[in-house]
């Protein structure tokens, strides 16, 4: 059974940083694209960052230059380093693996507020 477990969310002030981590278990995912999506209240879920098995990345325009995605294929983990956080980054962040219909984590809340 595939499981994705996110960690690292929380409350930070504007301009602060957070590091999200996702650990996948139940299979090997080193041949699949992994990434992060987010969903703010009243909005649709949107892609934040994706990383291919060989490390090619794609970012939403709104986070380019502030967020960095990385992965460790030996550990089945994907990490999102988020810097210069702003209130508009407030959302539930979901780990995602592009395999078949896709696998999702349970989500971790990120709140940016002073």
Sign for the pseudo-dihedral over CA of 6, 8, 12, 18: negative
Q: What is the pLDDT of residues 32-85, one digit of tens each?
A: 999 999 999 999 999 999 999 999 999 999 999 999 999 999 999 999 999 999
Structure-block tokens of residue 87: 């209130």
Distance CA 2, CA 69 (A): 21
Burial environment of residue 71 by CB neighbours within 10 A (0 to 12, 13 to 18, 19 or more): buried
89: left (phi > 0), else alpha (psi -120 to 50), else beta? alpha
The closest of 36, 21, 54, 10 to 104, measured between CA atoms, is: 36
Nearest one of 32, 35, 22 to 67, comparing CA atoms: 35
Given this model, what pLDDT does residue 101 score? 86
Nearest Cα to 41, choosing from 82, 91, 7, 106?
91
On the question of pLDDT at 28 being above 90, the answer is no
Q: What local confidence, expressed as pLDDT, does residue 29 receive? A: 87
Q: What is the mean pLDDT of residues 15-31?
A: 92
Residue 100: per-residue pLDDT: 85
């Amino acid at each position: 059974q595939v499981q994705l477990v996110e960690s690292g969310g929380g409350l930070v002030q504007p301009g602060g940083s957070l590091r999200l981590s996702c650990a996948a278990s139940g299979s090997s995912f080193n041949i699949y694209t992994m990434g992060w999506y987010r969903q703010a209240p009243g909005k649709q879920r949107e892609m934040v960052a994706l990383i291919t098995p060989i490390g090619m990345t794609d970012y939403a325009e709104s986070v380019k230059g502030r967020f960095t995605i990385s992965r460790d294929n030996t550990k089945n983990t994907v990490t999102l380093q988020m810097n210069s956080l702003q209130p508009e980054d407030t959302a539930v962040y979901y780990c995602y693996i592009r395999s078949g219909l896709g696998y999702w984590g349970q989500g971790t809340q990120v709140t940016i507020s002073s």
